Amino acid sequence: MKLRNLILLIFLILSGKLLAKDVKVMDGAGKPVASVVISWSSSSHTSPSSEPVIVDQVNRAFVPHISVITAGQSVDFPNSDNIRHHVYSFSESNPFEIKLYRNRPVEPILFANSGIVALGCNIHDQMIGYIYVAAPNETAVLTDENGIATIPEIESVQYWHPRMSLAATQVNSVQLSDENPMIIVLDLLPAPEEEKSATFGSATFGSN
Q: Beta strands 53-54 and 156-160: pairing type?
A: unpaired
How does pLDDT run along the chain (208 residues), one tens digit per residue?
556 555 655 555 554 445 789 999 999 999 999 999 999 998 777 788 899 999 999 999 999 999 999 999 999 999 999 999 999 999 999 999 999 999 998 899 999 999 999 999 999 999 999 999 999 999 999 999 999 999 998 999 999 999 999 999 999 999 999 899 999 999 999 987 654 444 444 434 444 3
Domain-located, residue 9: no
For residue 79, give its domain range.
21-195
Domain-located, residue 203: no
Cis preceding-peptide flag for 152 (omega within 30 of 0): no
Q: How many domains does the chain have?
A: 1
As a whole number of angstroms, the distance between CA 111 and CA 190 comes to 29
Domain-located, residue 84: yes
Domain-located, residue 16: no
| pTM (2 d.p.) | 0.83
CATH of the domain at 47: 2.60.40.420
As a whole number of angstroms, the distance between CA 173 and CA 89 comes to 26
